[in-house]
Amino acid sequence: MLGVSVYLLAPLVAWLAAQGGKYLIHLAKSRSLSNYRQLYISGGMPSAHSATSVALVVVIGLSDGVDGPLFGIAALLAAIVMYDAMMVRHASGSQGEALQALIREQQSKVPLPRVARGHTPLEVAAGAVLGVAVGAIVFLATK
């Protein structure tokens, strides 16, 4: 299909699907088409990090099997990405929000720091499920 590597195509499609899903969820909640940031921000439902990394794992598993070193490396890296999204980035986002509240409360002239949101376990799980589906569909569509 178009000479594009399935190993690159599946993660790209998974990322686009996850980011598009974030926009649609935000649209349903806010009833406003104006927040295009949802198309590229981190955090939110579903996790694009999970979808992207799991789509790659699925394609590797379907293409090369699950008993090779490449599958093991990809699965380990996907687990690290998902753990980081839930634990490290989620905690850092909470700390950033608390810091912003403190700066506002103190009426400080310090510029508000940017807060990068992490993911809840549900957002990571939804992204992983999306990644499995997209990885399988892209793999089958390119065969």
The share of the chain scoring above pLDDT 90, in percent, equals 52
Domain contains 91: yes
Q: Residue 6's pLDDT band (boundaries 50, 70, 90)?
A: very high
Structure tokens at 121: 């376990």
Q: What is the pLDDT of residue 62?
A: 97
Contacts of 42 (CB under 8 A, 6+ apart): 48, 49, 89, 116, 117, 118
Domain contains 1: no
Q: Residue 129: which domain range?
A: 6-141
pTM of the entire predicted model: 0.81
Q: Number of folded domains in the chain?
A: 1
Question: What CA–CA distance (Å, rounded) separates 78 from 58?
Answer: 11
Domain contains 46: yes
Residue with token string 């993911």: 119
Write the pLDDT tens digit of every residue in 23-65.
888 788 777 666 666 556 677 789 999 999 999 999 999 999 9
